[in-house]
DNA sequence: CCCTCTTGTAATCATTCGATTACTCCATTT
DNA sequence: AAATGGAGTAATCGAATGATTACAAGAGGG
């Protein structure tokens, strides 16, 4: 039949699909997402997604790689800003970089869904390796102390979880939910989280 | 055909199924788990699981309730120990209670998988409500300060994520993985995590 | 002894989903 | 103008899965 989608170079189309997949996998997880939903989000047909990536598993792996690369790139950019080399200052800059990533819900949620798949024989190792890349970055490139690493990762995971649970939506009606977000991160971060949940 | 499974009162059988479901959902998540795997883990047939719980969704909701109840009960028991009422001391006792829960991988992982389902119209609200119950407990019953709540939840989520990712397995072979666990939680907690991942 | 209720299964159904196949359309080349 | 190859889809297939149905087997009561 007449192709509805514009004809676009395969390389560019792959990138569109990966962007769509980041959103869909972030929202529904690996098992919950379907190749058809990714295809619709990318504006093309389901078989084409499969043809360009081989399998759903491979699509997820490439999506995971892409989100991890974005995370690391964002951190490295924050570290590269010309600023005093103080460790506390670097911590603040990385924190700000993380908060900017929250704006693109899909990136952080896809990463988190990857971490949750530890028992998968293929995705599990890939996700663990990604986690370790982040760890090494904080240790070797950011020069964080163990305690700084601990705090940074813990705060990140809490943000991820609150984001994934969609508690920002509840915060508009539920007083306790709003309290929780203010309480755990202060008004500024809470506002970012709430905005991203909408 | 001759029933292989022993005849057991329905109420008791439900509890067995919920225990099995906690393990299976914790490992595979809601979408990734099948009613058949839960049934096999409980030693009965798949249709019987469906009959006793109606739908897979309902089974997950009840499993979630059960895990949340266990978490809260464990915390309340820790708070009830006769000991000086100091807030820092309560924090330590709740932390120890949490670490004990890690031993039963399924409980914490099922909760975490529930939190990840924020976009589900039925499970999402239930999971958010569960999160808020924990929050209110820390605030009202444990008397935690906002900063204490923040730290406690953040550490919990990091533990959950490391547990889910199965990084304890990698720690045996990968030096960085072992470093990560030691680094973020100190040798004691790292050992618990490693044991629970096996 | 029969009746009935509870516990449980085998068989099967309908749907969903990932994947495959065979095709169309269009641009470029020769 | 015919040939080639890349971009894309419709149709369909097979496996998996949640759910339904119909049935079996034992326990207890009258």
What does the pLDDT look like over A78-119, one tens digit per residue?
A: 999 866 667 788 999 999 999 999 999 999 999 999 999 999
Contacts of B24 in chain A (CB under 8 A): none
* Segment B11-23 mean pLDDT: 98
Three-state helix/strand/coil letters over chain B = CCCCCCCCCHHHHHHHHHHHHHHHHHHHHHHHCCHHHHHHHHCCCHHHHHHHHCCHHHHHHHHHHHHHHHHHHHHHHHHHCCCCCCHHHHHHHHHHHHHHHHHCHHHHHHHHHHHCCCCCCCHHHHHHHHHHHHHHHHHHHCCCCHHHHHHHHHHHHHHHHHHHHCHHHHHCCCHHHHHHHHHHHHHHHHHHHHHHHC
Q: What is the pLDDT of residues B68-113, one digit of tens each?
A: 999 999 999 999 986 666 778 899 999 999 999 999 999 999 999 9
Please give the average per-residue pLDDT across B155-170, as a whole number.
Answer: 96
- Which of A118, A179, A183 has the CB atom closest to B165's CB atom? A118
The arithmetic mean of pLDDT across residues A56-76, rounded, is 98
Whether residue A3 is predicted with pLDDT greater than 60 in this model: the reply is: no
A187 in a structural domain: no
pLDDT more than 90, % of chain B = 84
Helix (H, G, I), strand (E, B) or coil at A46: helix
Residue B70 lies in a domain: yes
Question: Residue A192: what pLDDT?
Answer: 83
The residues near A34 (Cβ < 8 Å, ≥ 6 apart) are none
What is the per-residue pLDDT for A189? Answer: 84
The CA–C1' separation of B9 and D30, in angstroms, is 24
Distance CA B7 to C1' D26 in A: 9
CB atoms within 10 A of CB A105: 19
Give the residue nearest to nucleotide D24 (CA to C1'): B1
Whether B85 is covered by a domain: the verdict is: yes
B34 touches chain A (CB under 8 A): no
The yes-or-no verdict on residue A27 having pLDDT over 60 is: yes
> Which candidate from B112, B154, B176 shows the least CB-CB separation from A135?
B176
- Segment B136-147 shows an average pLDDT of 97
pLDDT of residue B191: 81
Q: What is the mean pLDDT of chain A?
A: 94
CA of B114 vs chain A CAs: smallest distance (Å): 8
The reply to whether residue B127 touches residue A165, judged by beta carbons under 8 angstroms, is yes
Tally Cβ neighbours within 10 Å of residue A192.
18
Q: Please check whether residue B137 lies inside any domain of the structure.
A: yes
Domain containing residue B110 = 58-165
Cα separations (Å) of B186 from A92, A146, A150, B146, B192?
Answer: 24, 9, 10, 24, 10
The span from the CA of B178 to the CA of B194, in Å, is 9
Whether residue A132 and residue B180 make contact (CB cut-off 8 A), yes or no, is yes
CB proximity B69 to A under 8 Å: no
Burial of A138 (0-12, 13-18, 19+ CB in 10 A): buried
At B186, give phi and psi (nearest 5°). Answer: 80, 160
Question: CA at B2, C1' at C3: how many angstroms apart?
Answer: 22
Identify the pLDDT of residue A194.
79
pLDDT of residue A5: 73
Alpha carbon of A107: minimum distance to chain B alpha carbons (Å): 14
Q: Which residue is nearest to nucleotide C8 (CA to C1')?
A: B3
Query: Measured between alpha carbons, how far is B95 from B139 in angstroms, rounded to an integer?
Result: 15
> Is B97 inside a domain boundary?
yes
Q: Is residue B144 part of a domain?
A: yes
Any domain includes B176: no
A96 part of a folded domain: yes
pLDDT at B169 over 70: yes
Q: How far apart are CA B168 and CA B177, in angstroms?
A: 8
pLDDT at B33: 99
- Indicate the number of domains in chain B: 1
Q: Is any atom of strand D within 7 angstroms of residue A173's beta carbon? A: no
- Residue B29 touches chain A, beta carbons under 8 Å: yes
Distance from CA(B50) to C1'(D21), angstroms, rounded: 13
Instruction: Spell out the residues 6+ positions from residue B111 whose beta carbon is closer than 8 angstroms to its own.
Output: B64, B67, B68, B71, B130, B160
Mean pLDDT in chain B?
94
Mean pLDDT of B126-143: 98
Give the C-alpha separation, B74 to B78, whole Å.
Answer: 6
């Amino acid at each position: 039949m007449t192709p509805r989608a514009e004809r676009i170079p395969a390389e560019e189309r792959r990138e569109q699909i990966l962007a769509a997949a980041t959103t869909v996998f972030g929202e529904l997880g690996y098992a919950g997402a379907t190749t058809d939903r990714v295809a619709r989000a990318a504006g093309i047909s389901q078989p084409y997604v499969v043809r360009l990536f081989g399998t759903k598993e491979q699509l997820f792996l490439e999506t995971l790689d892409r989100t991890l690369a974005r995370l690391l790139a964002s951190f490295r950019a924050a570290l590269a800003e010309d600023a005093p080399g103080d460790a506390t200052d670097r911590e603040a800059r990385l924190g700000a970089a993380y908060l900017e990533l929250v704006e693109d819900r899909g990136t952080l949620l896809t990463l988190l869904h990857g971490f949750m798949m530890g028992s998968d024989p293929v995705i599990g190792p890939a996700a663990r390796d990604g986690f370790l890349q982040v760890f090494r970055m904080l240790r070797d490139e950011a020069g964080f102390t163990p305690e700084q690493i601990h705090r940074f990762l813990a705060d990140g995971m809490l943000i991820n979880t609150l984001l994934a649970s969609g508690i920002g939506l509840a915060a508009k009606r539920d007083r306790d939910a709003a309290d929780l977000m203010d309480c755990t991160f202060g008004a500024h971060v809470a506002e970012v989280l709430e905005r991203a949940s909408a």
